[in-house]
Amino acid sequence: MIRFNPLPGIYRHYKKGDLYRVLGNVIHTETSEVMVFYERVNMPRERFVQPLQMFMEVVPCPCDQSRFIPRFKLITLQTSSDEQESSSSSWLAVVAFASLSIFLFVIWPD
């Protein structure tokens, strides 16, 4: 059962309690299925994709099978300043890569 698309922010997984940052939604190129793109908070290079329906579903509580809880529970919403900071660092990486590419391929003599 899908409740809504997840908002960008920090979510806690129901089983182990690990924290994950939702980066956004992506669409599978072959099936057009909407998926959630997220990363582990303490290991930002470890990224995952999970079908939206699975990410948003409710599951039986591990301690009480008669109760249902969300698979991922929203802990903190990402604020616009967080988005700006993330966007700025992404752009910085792009500019650095572009500068290096220009140096290596245009300026560097063969």
Dump pLDDT digits (tens) for 47-83: 999 999 999 999 999 888 899 999 999 999 887 655 5
What percent of the chain stands above pLDDT 90? 46
Domain extent at residue 105: 79-110
Per-residue pLDDT reduced to its tens digit, 82-93: 554 554 455 455
Question: In total, how many domains does the chain have?
Answer: 2
Residue 60 and residue 7 share a domain: yes
Torsion from C-alpha of 44, 52, 77, 79, nearest 10 degrees: 70
pTM of the model: 0.65
Distance of CA 94 to the CA centre of its chain: 19
Please indicate, yes or no, whether residues 95 and 73 belong to a single structural domain of this protein: no
Of the candidates 21, 61, 28, 67, the one whose C-alpha atom is nearest the C-alpha of residue 44 is 21
Rounded to an integer, what distance in angstroms lies between the CA atom of residue 67 and that of residue 12?
Answer: 17
Assess whether 31 and 56 both reside in one domain.
yes
The model's confidence at residue 95, banded by pLDDT at 50, 70 and 90, is very low
Report how far residue 22's alpha carbon sits from residue 92's, in angstroms, rounded to the nearest whole number: 21
